[in-house]
Chains A and B, each alone.
Chain A
Amino acid sequence: MNITLTLAWRNLWRHRRRTWLTVSAMVFCNVLLIFSIALQFGTYGLMIENSLKLFTGHLQIQHPKYLDSPKLHYSIDDAAKLQTQLQQELGENWALASRGMGFALVSSEERSFGIQVVGVEPGREPMVSSLPGLVKSGKYLPSAPTETIEIVIGRKIADNLKVELGDELTLLGSGRDGSFAAGIAIVTGIFDSGVSDIDRAMAQIPLDDFQTLFTMEQQVHSIVIQGSSAANADALQERLRQWRASHVKQSFAPVWQPRHWDELLPGVRQAIQSDIASSLFLYSILTLLVAFSVLNTQLMSVLERTREFGILSALGISPGQLGRLVMLETLLMASLGFALGVLLGAIIVYAISQVGISFPGMEEMHSRFNMPARIYPELSMLPLTLGPAVILVGSLLASLYPALRLQRLEPVAAMRAA
């Protein structure tokens, strides 16, 4: 074994209690960081995927102006052809479905409410959205065309309209050309998503009926694209822009835009960002406190060895070597804290990943993002080592000051020191 290493290791245990106290501070902060970062990673992933899965999807193709002003006449022409081309281009890993979005006054025998009416492709919609699976009574729209218009509505709007399965609803609105749009639909299903904005204000009908009702011909408002992970949306957006450049004539302004989920649902990323900002505050305070602890320990340990260091330098050991010795001691101590912290943190996170965790108030918060009340963080490398690595680096930086002090050591004066 390298002699400097042996020396550093032995020095560390000259004050057993001090070393253990400092290591404990590191372990405590490491475990805390591992726990909360693992929890955050788990929550954020779910938050993004679940809120996108419900309705928005990972990406949508829209008329360039539709995002800022969602009006009926900002639609995409000849959408079926575009959708087929895109499906061929993207392959089986991406699910595509077209939608039309309009607004109508929906009336039952007793009540009327203004709600959003979405025209969907019944066969494809379940591949891009979890809403069809949330139909709790009745069934989702049939894939085959039917004589009458069938409609699925949210639980809350159903209660407010006082309708049940099989009841008739009258739809009133204005079509794309400004004409009067009216139709009668039969309630075939009622969904209950838990997100009150959707349960209270949305209805879905087959796209064909939607296009007839709102005089849309073959136009749609968006083509929703859902892949395996929201993280792939950036690459997909770029790919679609390139595809557009090579396949669509650019003589005028582009007729459609690929919209990233971040543009479609900006609240999700921002909620995550503000959560990260407040936890970063706590993490940096913890790291700083550990750094202070290490600084204190190492400075003390250097000061009490002034005489010893004086003798060592008189024997020909350079100040640089002495500095490296102190840094090595810190590194050993910090590695011990790292190893114990990761071990303990892994055990805790593993235990939670088995039984799940829930805080008071979490259920209310999570229902806003279509998330379950209890979450199961996953044990993975990054959250397990990210926090401890920062603490390790912080400790090393803190011991720079005591190590650098040694560079000014005067051997003769140091040997005379008490």
Chain B
Amino acid sequence: MKQLQTLSTLAWRNLWRNYRRTLIMTSAIALGVWAMIFMTAMLRGMMADMITQGVNNLPGHIQLHHPEYRADPSIVNRFAPPGDELLEQLNQADIKSWSARVRVPAVIASERASRGVNLIGVDPAEPLPLDGNLLKDGRSLETESDRGLIMGAKLAERLETRLGKRVVLMSQDPDNNVVDRGFRVVGIFESELSATEENQVYAGRATLQKMLRMDQKISELVILTEEQRLLQPTVERLAQSAPHLEVLPWYELDRFLGTSVETFDGFSMVFIVVIFLALSFGLVNTLVMAIFERTREIGLMQALGMTPASICVQILLEAMMLLLIGLLVGNALVLLSLHSIKDGLDISGVAEGMALMGAGSVLKPALHTLDVIRANGVVLVLGIVACALPAWQASRLDPITTMNHT
């Protein structure tokens, strides 16, 4: 123990014999670690945003449909509202909330123009009545038999209609008869994704069930869960109690989103390792130089009775201290830089490109403890591994030859 203390003191002092070199290397390590964590936090933020938007857009973490509905989202593929067995499962603790909705394709017509839309029937008492979109004008739906209609700002513009005007919605009943009904526009919503603003309209669920002659039946059951990523147990449990329905989590409903999130972990690790490799050359170089300058000294120490193991440990301690200082500065930089953009980075200049990838126009960093540990761990562990060879070589030096070294 006493020896280790001496070795640490030696290592610490050696580190500052050439303070310029140490400072340069510290800056390099700090920069590397900062880049690793900062970039991961930005990407995590973007991912979290994509998941939130994706879940809002679908909506829900898990959806239940008629098995044919996703291939053919029409009124024919409807199902009865949850029975007792399913209700019991839906009231378990891992499910935050759920809502039953009608969702069918329809044509909306104003006096001026007509468009194809998704007509969604919701009960405003249930969660996510507007799929997470914000009401901009007018009122929200009041009951499930509300006779009003809520549409996106962009759709209103396309149809040349506005709040208080009447529009006609046309769709089909289960027997393929065309049904239509007039609605008054009572609310206008805004969405981050322009496709949503153009394609979704919301009305009361009971109103639509009556218009579409589908009794109490619904098109989809939308579930919000407490957990975001590990949904398999919940999905299996629900599937058991609803054998006639298709139960799917968001990452299978939206394959693009699912694979993006899956590949993200891999990419962030590649990113961390690449930066580490670029860093490691400088690190090894610094250590090789430090050993080279002290060849004589190391020989002398050995001649005075220091064991090769102690020399190896001393050099590794020096490397570890160098790494730790760099990590400390790097992590401090991360906190500083993330604090300065904690309200998010405005990237609305490329909003439509981000929308294509499913993300919003403000990038909010998300710092996860695990990512911080991972980046620091990689640098510390791999850093010491990279230094092991020069340290070992130094401990193998022959005292006689090295002392003659000038």
Known contacts A25-B281, A293-B281, A296-B282; A103/B113 CB under 8 A: yes
How far apart sit A282 and B81, CA to CA, in the bound complex (Å)? 51
B157 touches A69 (CB 8 A): yes
B282 touches A293 (CB 8 A): yes
Q: Which of A71, A271, A274 has the most C-beta atoms of chain B within 10 angstroms of its own C-beta?
A: A274
Within 8 A of A (CB), among B105-119: 105-108, 113-117
Q: Which residues of B contact A286 (CB under 8 A)?
A: 274-275, 278
A364 touches B260 (CB 8 A): yes
A112 touches B172 (CB 8 A): yes
Shortest distance in angstroms between A319's beta carbon and chain B's nearest beta carbon? 20
A404 within 8 A of B: no
B288 within 8 A of A: yes
B2 within 8 A of A: no
Within 8 A of A (CB), among B1-44: 18, 20-21, 24-25, 27-28, 31-32, 35, 39, 42-43
A292 touches B353 (CB 8 A): no
Choose among A32, A281, A285, A364 the residue that contacts B256 (Cβ–Cβ < 8 A): A364
How far apart sit A198 and B122, CA to CA, in the bound complex (Å)? 28
Known contacts A25-B282, A290-B278; A18/B288 CB under 8 A: yes
Which single residue of chain A is at the shortest CB-CB distance from B264? A361
Stretch at the interface among A241-249, A251-259, A262-270, A323-331: A262-270
How far apart sit A21 and B287, CA to CA, in the bound complex (Å)? 11
Q: Which residues of A contact B136 (CB under 8 A)?
A: none
Q: Which residues of B contact A288 (CB under 8 A)?
A: 31
B289 within 8 A of A: yes
How far apart sit A238 and B21, CA to CA, in the bound complex (Å)? 56
Q: What is the size category of the interface that chain B forms with chain A?
A: 35 or more
How far apart sit A318 and B289, CA to CA, in the bound complex (Å)? 28
B105 touches A267 (CB 8 A): no
Q: Which residues of A contact B352 (CB under 8 A)?
A: 266-267, 270
How far apart sit A285 and B116, CA to CA, in the bound complex (Å)? 48
Within 8 A of A (CB), among B337-367: 347, 349-357
Which single residue of chain B is at the shortest CB-CB distance from A21? B285
Known contacts A112-B178, A303-B20, A361-B260; A18/B285 CB under 8 A: yes
Shortest distance in angstroms between B105's beta carbon and chain A's nearest beta carbon? 5
B72 within 8 A of A: yes
How far apart sit A103 and B107, CA to CA, in the bound complex (Å)? 10
Choose among A29, A111, A268, A359 the residue that contacts B172 (Cβ–Cβ < 8 A): A111
Contact digits for A114-140, partner B, Cβ 8 Å, 1 yes 0 no: 110000000000000000000000000
Contact digits for A279-315, partner B, Cβ 8 Å, 1 yes 0 no: 0011001101110110111011001100000000000
B135 within 8 A of A: no
How far apart sit A220 and B116, CA to CA, in the bound complex (Å)? 22
B369 within 8 A of A: no
How far apart sit A3 and B259, CA to CA, in the bound complex (Å)? 60
Shortest distance in angstroms between B21's beta carbon and chain A's nearest beta carbon? 6
Shortest distance in angstroms between B286's beta carbon and chain A's nearest beta carbon? 6
Shortest distance in angstroms between A64's beta carbon and chain B's nearest beta carbon? 18
How far apart sit A110 and B136, CA to CA, in the bound complex (Å)? 37
A113 touches B170 (CB 8 A): no
Contact digits for B278-318, partner A, Cβ 8 Å, 1 yes 0 no: 11011011101100110000000000000000000000000
Which single residue of chain A is at the shortest CB-CB distance from B176? A110
Q: Which residues of B contact A25 (CB under 8 A)?
A: 278, 281-282, 285
Known contacts A28-B278, A114-B117; A267/B353 CB under 8 A: yes
Q: Which residues of B contact A360 (CB under 8 A)?
A: 259, 262-263, 266
Which single residue of chain A is at the shortest CB-CB distance from B170? A105
Number of interface residues of A (CB under 8 A): 61
Choose among B18, B107, B288, B353 the residue that contacts A112 (Cβ–Cβ < 8 A): B107
Which single residue of chain B is at the shortest CB-CB distance from A297? B285
How far apart sit A286 and B293, CA to CA, in the bound complex (Å)? 28
B71 within 8 A of A: yes
Q: Which residues of A contact B35 (CB under 8 A)?
A: 281-282, 285
Known contacts A359-B263, A361-B259; A274/B347 CB under 8 A: yes
Q: Which residues of A contact B354 (CB under 8 A)?
A: 270-271, 274
Which single residue of chain A is at the shortest CB-CB distance from B28? A292
B262 touches A361 (CB 8 A): yes
B277 within 8 A of A: yes
Shortest distance in angstroms between A25's beta carbon and chain B's nearest beta carbon? 4
B237 within 8 A of A: no
Q: Which of A112, A272, A282, A296 has the most C-beta atoms of chain B within 10 angstroms of its own C-beta?
A: A296
B74 within 8 A of A: yes
Which single residue of chain B is at the shortest CB-CB distance from A17? B288
How far apart sit A173 and B113, CA to CA, in the bound complex (Å)? 9
Shortest distance in angstroms between A261's beta carbon and chain B's nearest beta carbon? 13
A65 within 8 A of B: no
Known contacts A25-B278, A105-B114, A364-B256; A285/B292 CB under 8 A: no
How far apart sit A415 and B31, CA to CA, in the bound complex (Å)? 36
How far apart sit A32 and B270, CA to CA, in the bound complex (Å)? 12
Q: Which residues of A contact B39 (CB under 8 A)?
A: 278, 281-282
B158 within 8 A of A: yes
Within 8 A of B (CB), among A27-52: 28-29, 32
B25 touches A289 (CB 8 A): no
Choose among A201, A289, A300 the residue that contacts B278 (Cβ–Cβ < 8 A): A289
B259 touches A296 (CB 8 A): no
A365 within 8 A of B: yes
B275 touches A285 (CB 8 A): yes
Which single residue of chain A is at the shortest CB-CB distance from B260? A361
Choose among A22, A159, A173, A269 the residue that contacts B353 (Cβ–Cβ < 8 A): A269
A270 touches B350 (CB 8 A): yes
Shortest distance in angstroms between B157's beta carbon and chain A's nearest beta carbon? 7
Q: Which residues of B contact A28 (CB under 8 A)?
A: 277-278, 281
Q: Which of A22, A109, A112 has the most C-beta atoms of chain B within 10 angstroms of its own C-beta?
A: A112
A105 touches B172 (CB 8 A): no
Q: Which of A69, A267, A268 has the most C-beta atoms of chain B within 10 angstroms of its own C-beta?
A: A267
Contact digits for B117-133, partner A, Cβ 8 Å, 1 yes 0 no: 10000000000000000
A15 within 8 A of B: yes
A114 touches B106 (CB 8 A): yes
Q: Which residues of A contact B271 (CB under 8 A)?
A: 282
Q: Which of B31, B158, B172, B278 has the most C-beta atoms of chain A within 10 angstroms of its own C-beta?
A: B278
B182 within 8 A of A: no
Q: Which residues of B contact A364 (CB under 8 A)?
A: 255-256, 259-260
The chain B residues found within 8 Å of chain A, CB to CB, are 18, 20-21, 24-25, 27-28, 31-32, 35, 39, 42-43, 71-74, 105-108, 113-117, 157-158, 170-172, 176, 178, 255-256, 259-260, 262-263, 266, 271, 274-275, 277-279, 281-282, 284-286, 288-289, 292-293, 347, 349-357
Pick the 4 closest A-B CB pairs, nearest first. Answer: A114-B116, A270-B353, A25-B281, A271-B353
Q: Assuming A109-B176, A274-B350, what are 8 further A-B pairs, CB within 8 angstroms?
A: A28-B278, A162-B72, A267-B355, A268-B353, A270-B349, A271-B353, A286-B274, A293-B281
Provide a sorted-by-A list of 13 A–B residue pairs whose CB atoms are within 8 angstroms.
Answer: A69-B157, A103-B113, A111-B74, A112-B171, A113-B116, A114-B106, A114-B108, A269-B353, A274-B347, A285-B35, A300-B18, A360-B263, A364-B260
